[in-house]
Structure 1
Amino acid sequence: MTTLTLIGAPTDVGASVLGASMGPDALRIAGIARAMQARGFDVRDQGNLAGPGNPQAEPASGFRHLAEVAAWNRAVYEATHAALQAGQLPLLMGGDHCLAIGSISAVAQHCRARGRRLKVLWFDAHADANTPESSPSGNLHGMPVACLLGHGPAQLTRLAGPDAPPALQSGQITLIGVRSVDATEKRFVNEHGIEVYDMRTIDELGMRAVMQAALADVDQDTHLHVSFDMDCLDPSVAPGVGTGVRGGPTYRETQLCMEMLADCGALGSADLVELNPALDVRNQTAELAVDLLESLFGKSTLMRPQ
């Protein structure tokens, strides 16, 4: 029986809108532990990590709340790395998307130590590839992709140690569902050769073809990490997010993504972030998140024999 470790990170220090700090407990209320146990996992809920509060300060030197973001990501890094070292599958429950710097840095260090290939699928309405020079707000939840590629402050790019390489190379991450991107982010993504399946590509090719392409290089020696921002979905489906953007994937398209990810058999870790109960309607976005996670971890609606 695989042990699934739930790691709550109740903070919105990297975000532009308050409320994502309540995300982990909303997922618990929506029945995340019970749902994962029904999928056959030994579920261990580590509770919520501790970290600094949100000072709601103005940007300084291109960042808002850098010290607080660094402290939270250090806690996430250590909890995720400990779970992986223990042979468990960590599920980070955010919190805002800046926390993926900590979780993915830990996964990258774990994979380097074991000689395993790492592939990250980043589901998001945004590219999250701003730098302090390009960010209009200084909000760090808009910078994690850049930080993971080594473009950011040392407090975030060197979580694995002062001499550690960047957590990711550009060929290790694929962005899916993107539809709101700054001009400077477009240049960053293109200059670094990051694979992107934006919404126009999904519209043109269909979600099945996009997921087949995104998973084409995933094999039995690949550790697959899924970083899922709830604002990837269309806000008509998932209203409980801080930075919703119209024109995202439907419920059924997203379910197909999750089922195809489960079918590939390579999932080793995951993030579920940017769930904002303060903007939700009767916790429906949290319930949707649990529904999607059930599919990611093996629940299938498929009637035909597999």
Structure 2
Amino acid sequence: MSKEIALTVFQARAGDHNDLAMPGAAAVGAMLAARLGLPASVIGRPEPALNSGWRSELDAALPALRALAEHHAAILRRGAVPLTAATRCAVSLAMLPVVASQRPDACVVWFDAHADFHTPHTSASGYLGGMVLAGACGLWDSGLGAGLAVGNVVLVGGRDIDPAEQALIDAGTLRLVTAGAGLADELRRAIAGRPVYLHLDCDVLEPGIVPTDYRCTGGLSLAELGAACAVVAEHELVGVEIAEFEHAWQAGGAPVSPAALLDALRPLLERLPAGA
């Protein structure tokens, strides 16, 4: 039986270093709407980036993030599949606790160059986006809930990982699937047949493919991302969120189309309308 797909575009600031991800999310959302023939709900409105510490960033983002959490919960309660074009990874602070509450069986597959498993006490940078998974897993209180089991997190493509995060990976607390020839098979083993909620931070890709805030060498190609998405598409899809696509390579630059990125996600996008 086909499931409803609920497309959402998040437009508020949430730990932004610059103003490029808000129009980036709008571009991703518009192209998803056109390709899938879906209406889009918009949460929040663009405001200038604060580019400040985690506390002030979180305080500024909380009203919009709480609205998104309520919206996300309503989608899952009615049995629909959320498809979200987000600005920054910090937006997931609102969505992951909802997924953990309503679909505790789901595996969160986190495509990202970073582990995002810091707390305010362990982060050297104070960057809100680097604390998302730790917050969702209850290691610090974001004010947006928690409940995600660490064992239900699978990191994919991480390579810019701090020592404290690497220690968790080495201890087997966090599972990391690294880029390389064996990625698809390793990812399939890591998911282990569970339903999947997928997060994509565009910096998991090799720098130069799409504009992102962080650029870390050793990333996935679009073909490798597509192959990984084909593995994810073998499983029940609980939801998909796309974050950190910037509108241009630099402020004032020409707009960049998300078409190539969404082409790589085709295995997932083709799976969504057929149900999971």
Answer yes or no: same fold by TM over 0.5.
Answer: yes
**How far apart in 1 are the matches of 2:62 and 2:5?**
25
Q: CA deviation at 1:122?
A: 0.2
Q: Note closer, same or farther for the CA distance 1:276–1:57 as it changes in structure 2 (3 Å cut).
A: closer
Q: CA deviation at 1:4?
A: 1.2
Specify the code of the residue in structure 1 equivalent to 2:238: G
Q: CA deviation at 1:79?
A: 1.0
Structure 1 unaligned regions, length at least 5: 38-42, 159-165, 300-306
Q: Under a length normalisation based on structure 1, what TM-score does the superposition of the two structures give?
A: 0.79
Secondary structure (helix, strand or coil) at the match of 2:265 reads helix
Residue of structure 2 equivalent to 1:265: 235
**How far apart in 1 are the matches of 2:169 and 2:183?**
21
Secondary structure (helix, strand or coil) at the match of 1:278 reads coil
**How far apart in 2 are the matches of 1:118 and 1:243?**
28
Contact kept? 1:127, 1:185, Cα under 8 Å: yes
Q: Pick from 147, 152, 159: which aligns with 2:135?
A: 147
**How far apart in 1 are the matches of 2:88 and 2:61?**
10
**How far apart in 1 are the matches of 2:235 and 2:49?**
41
Q: Give the total of aligned pairs.
A: 268
| 1:104-143 alignment runs, 5 A limit | 104-112=96-104, 117-143=105-131
Q: Deviations over 1:182-206 (max 9, x none)?
A: 22332354457011123xxx33x52
Residue of structure 2 equivalent to 1:236: 208
Residue of structure 2 equivalent to 1:213: 189
Contact kept? 1:128, 1:141, Cα under 8 Å: yes
Q: Pick from 260, 264, 276: which aligns with 2:246?
A: 276
Secondary structure (helix, strand or coil) at the match of 1:125 reads coil
Specify the code of the residue in structure 1 equivalent to 2:33: A
Q: Pick from 134, 137, 147: which aligns with 1:167?
A: 147
Structure 2 unaligned regions, length at least 5: 272-276
Moved over 6 A (4+): none
Secondary structure (helix, strand or coil) at the match of 1:241 reads coil
Residue of structure 1 equivalent to 2:274: none
Q: Pick from 168, 193, 198: which aligns with 1:226?
A: 198
Q: Under a length normalisation based on structure 2, what TM-score does the superposition of the two structures give?
A: 0.87
Residue of structure 2 equivalent to 1:252: 223
Q: Note closer, same or farther for the CA distance 1:208–1:293 as it changes in structure 2 (3 Å cut).
A: closer
Q: CA deviation at 1:64?
A: 4.1
**How far apart in 1 are the matches of 2:218 and 2:142?**
35
Q: Pick from 44, 49, 52: which aligns with 1:50?
A: 44
Q: Deviations over 1:143-173 (max 9, x none)?
A: 10110110122413x2xxxxxxx32111100
Q: Note closer, same or farther for the CA distance 1:171–1:297 as it changes in structure 2 (3 Å cut).
A: same
**How far apart in 1 are the matches of 2:98 and 2:169?**
23
Q: Deviations over 1:41-75 (max 9, x none)?
A: xx3311x212684562643xx63412123323212
Q: CA deviation at 1:82?
A: 0.8
| 1:72-91 alignment runs, 5 A limit | 72-91=64-83
Q: Give 1 or 2 for the bigger CA radius of gyration.
A: 1
**How far apart in 1 are the matches of 2:169 and 2:65?**
23
Q: Deviations over 1:278-301 (max 9, x none)?
A: 3278554511232133221227xx
Q: Note closer, same or farther for the CA distance 1:175–1:190 as it changes in structure 2 (3 Å cut).
A: same
Q: Note closer, same or farther for the CA distance 1:73–1:188 as it changes in structure 2 (3 Å cut).
A: farther
Contact kept? 1:27, 1:289, Cα under 8 Å: no
